[in-house]
Structure 1
Amino acid sequence: MPEHLELQHLVDLSTASGDETIPNLLENKRPLLKRCPYLGLILATLSSLFFSLCSVIVKSLVNVDPMQLAMFRFIGVLLPTVPVVIYTEQPVFPPGKRVLLVLRSIVGTVGLMLSFYAFRNMPLADASVIVFSVPVFVALFARVFLKEPCGIWNTVSIILTLVGVVLITHPPLLFGDDVTSGHNDNYNKLRGAVAAFVSTIFGANAYVLLRVLKGLHFSVIMTNFGAIAILQTLLYSFAFGVLCMPNCGTERWLVVCLALFSYLGQILLTMSLQMEQAGPVAIARSADIVFAFLWQVMFFNEIPSMYSVFGAILVLSSVMLVGLRKWALALPTDSQLRGKLGVLAQ
């Protein structure tokens, strides 16, 4: 699962359980909220900007295998969290949670690698929309594995997302071969669509595992994730014969930017969730899809098809519906706003 979603879910879970799992990055800076009440949403949007730029870099580095790019990004995840876990004196590999930590790391690693393959084999916006639909499928897997209720709104969101994914991938069996005309001939649209969708499934299951691990400090989870993921991607790269260093010059600078942008996106998202509730932040994070369409046109000169745009609208609507419902459920029962969002809060 992408790290920005993991941090969002961890903060949401820690707030609900009362556990102080995320350090307060805004201590003694509360006056900022009075001067700019929308600062949390602004930071969430900036976080989307950095994560979308990570996708652009992955798509641009055609000479570096996605497994290698995933490994460099995991290095960017591991290095900043090691000082945190040392400073907080947390047990790095706590007994009783080790199997779950390893399983969660494996699931998250596979999900991220598949999303990178999707970026390579599909238009950027199409792949981003499918990968971004992870929150919609969480309710489904939470129902299966954690026996959590899956209400009518979650069902509607899942159906909207599946219809949107079909429109984005527009399989020839339903739409004919001419729909994909105008796309890059180097794309393997079917392979990319399968990678993106399976990445979403792995990402949703990673969230379910995070719910089980919600009592652990975030640095313990991220340290294990980074370390195991680096070993996992290194093993995969060696097994498939794609282990190599990026070329000197632009490629190495872009790899550094990939790790840096990923880290900045995580920090900005964490700060935004300390200022604002998870629901509005999830809606602001939908800007990731808008940025993806913008970068696709600007950097890759690819105009999205009518089907892709309509499918993206459906997926974006389902993600926003999930965010609104999460926001409504977090409001006090006597809140007037909750009354206005009453049907979503049921």
Structure 2
Amino acid sequence: MPEHLELQHLVDLSGSGDETVPNLMENKRPLIKRCPYLGLILATLSSLFFSLCSVIVKSLVNIDPMQLAMFRFIGVLLPTIPVVIYTEQPVFPKGKRFLLALRSLVGTVGLMLSFYAFRNMPLADASVIVFSVPVFVALFARVFLNEPCGIWNTISIILTLVGVVLITHPPFLFEEPKPDANTDINVLRGAMAAFVSTIFGANAYVLLRLLKGLHFSVIMTNFGAIAILQTFFFCFVFGLLCMPNCGADRFLVVCLALFSYLGQILLTMSLQMEQAGPVAIARSADIVFAFLWQVMFFNEVPNKYSVLGAILVMCSVLLVGLRKWALALPADSQLRSKLGVLAK
């Protein structure tokens, strides 16, 4: 999901021995030995918290998604400030300021668009499209970083695009009568917002690769601070600022910030304990949770096109995760040989 990409640069750093990445589990090695799948469990819990964030965004209909994004960024910034102070990191390192600002602007737009998608279309459909961000990273990495984009990445992109078309089933391709034209327009707008969100999210990840030598707290502090200013400015200009209603609304806003932070911390810990490929596969649980919450909380049963599209997107994400896993294994690993052509 775009809302947690500020930590995804740890994917490239996990296992690299980079001293700028703090090891949160340094004193927990016996625990890891007793539970070898702890990293995958934490990644799945991270998906749970992030999926609950999307439920909250869809539920708080009285608060504009842009203002909800501002509350979410406050939840990113406040817990990160003590980390920056403790590690004595330079908040605005020379030579990286423009990239940090650009990454923050791109990431903010991506997150706001994903929130609008959650609000205007079925939760599971929006989550599937937004979750396809890793598939498009290879495409933009090829364009901007000149990284190779092989046959498997191309297959993943094609599967994802077909899945997105099935999920959105645009009227000019699927001639199905709609009982409510306004609902149809809102869903189409939400689908467009979700897809553009993946584009911004993928570019944010490319920028994170350029910034991977920086401490994660520096990136998150800049991201949180700039994002709060950006969302506050938009909310002020468009007259969207409002105080959440007392009671359940304020409680859910606090939960949104808390769940975002918990999801990020769990994702960080999982990437430090497990390779990036298996973590990416475990994170696909986000799609499963989204379908579950859609039925439980919103009484929306997904149609056959949504289910088929979700299966295609999940297959493409799993393909990307398996390939990352295979390439990270030693050349003489038996598991790598079992994964076969994916490691080539």
Aligned residue pair count = 344
Identity of aligned residues (%): 85
Q: What CA distance in whole angstroms lies between the structure 2 residues aligned with 1:286 and 1:20?
A: 29
Q: Distance in 2 between matches of 1:146 and 1:185?
A: 40
Report the Cα offset of residue 177 of structure 1: 3.2
1:1-346 alignment runs, 5 A limit: 2-7=2-7, 9-15=8-14, 17-178=16-177, 185=183, 188-346=186-344
Matched residue SS, 1:264: helix
Alpha-carbon distance in 2 for matches of 1:321, 1:334: 21
Q: How far apart are 1:184 and its partner, in Å?
A: 9.5
Q: How much has 1:189 moved relative to structure 2?
A: 1.0
- 1:260 Cα offset (Å): 0.4
Distance (Å, rounded) in 1 between the aligned partners of 2:238 and 2:303: 34
Asked if the contact 1:120–1:187 (Cα under 8 Å) also holds between the matched residues in 2, the reply is no
- Cα deviation for residue 244 of structure 1 reads 1.1
Amino acid at match of 1:279: G
- Kept in 2, the 8 Å contact 1:134–1:200? The answer is yes
Amino acid at match of 1:2: P
> Which amino acid in 1 is paired with 2:316?
S
155-164 vs 37-46, which moves further: 37-46
Residues 166-202 of structure 1, C-alpha deviations (whole Å, 9 max, x = no match)? 0000000000133x56999487111001100000000
Deviation string for 1:69-92 (max 9, x for gaps)? 000000000011101111111110
Native 8 Å contact 1:43 1:268 kept in 2: yes
Change (3 A) 1:186 1:149: closer
Distance in 1 between the 2:263 and 2:35 partners? 20
- TM-score, normalised to structure 1's length? 0.96
- Separation of aligned partners in 1, 2:21 and 2:59: 33
Measure, in 1, the Cα distance between the counterparts of 2:303 and 2:179: 9
| Helix, strand or coil at the partner of 2:80 | helix
Shift of 1:106: 0.1
Partner SS state of residue 150, structure 1: coil
Runs of at least 4 residues off by over 3 Å: 180-187
**SS, match of residue 172 in structure 2:** helix
Against the structure 1 CA distance between its residues 79 and 258, is the aligned structure 2 distance closer, same or farther, given a 3 Å change threshold? Answer: same
Inter-CA distance 330–2: structure 2 relative to 1 (3 Å threshold): same
Aligned partner letter, 1:88: T
- The answer to whether the 8 A contact 1:122-1:187 is kept is no
Q: Deviations over 1:10-61 (max 9, x none)?
A: 2122236532333111122111112111111111111111000000000000
Distance 1:254 1:187 in 2: 28
- Residue 85 of structure 1 aligns with an amino acid whose one-letter code is V
Distance 1:219 1:171, change over 3 A: same
Q: 2:330 is aligned with what amino acid?
A: P
Is the contact made by 2:2 and 2:197 (CA closer than 8 Å) also made in structure 1? no
Judge conservation of contact 1:2–1:111 (CA < 8 Å) in 2: yes
Backbone CA RMSD of aligned residues: 1.5
The code of the aligned residue for 2:137 comes to V
Question: Counterpart of 1:256 in structure 2: which amino acid?
Answer: V
- Which 5+ residue runs of structure 2 have no aligned equivalent? none
DSSP 3-state at the match of 1:189: helix
CA–CA separation in structure 2 for the residues paired with 1:121 and 1:21: 40
Q: Which amino acid aligns with 1:87?
A: Y
Shift of 1:243: 1.0
Contact persistence 1:139–1:154 (CA under 8 A): yes
Distance 1:216 1:183, change over 3 A: farther
Distance 2:282 2:62 in 1: 33
Stretches of structure 1 lacking an aligned partner (at least 5 in a row): none
How far the C-alpha of 1:212 sits from its partner, in A, is 0.6
* TM-score calculated relative to the size of structure 2: 0.97
Structure 1 position 65, deviation (Å): 0.3
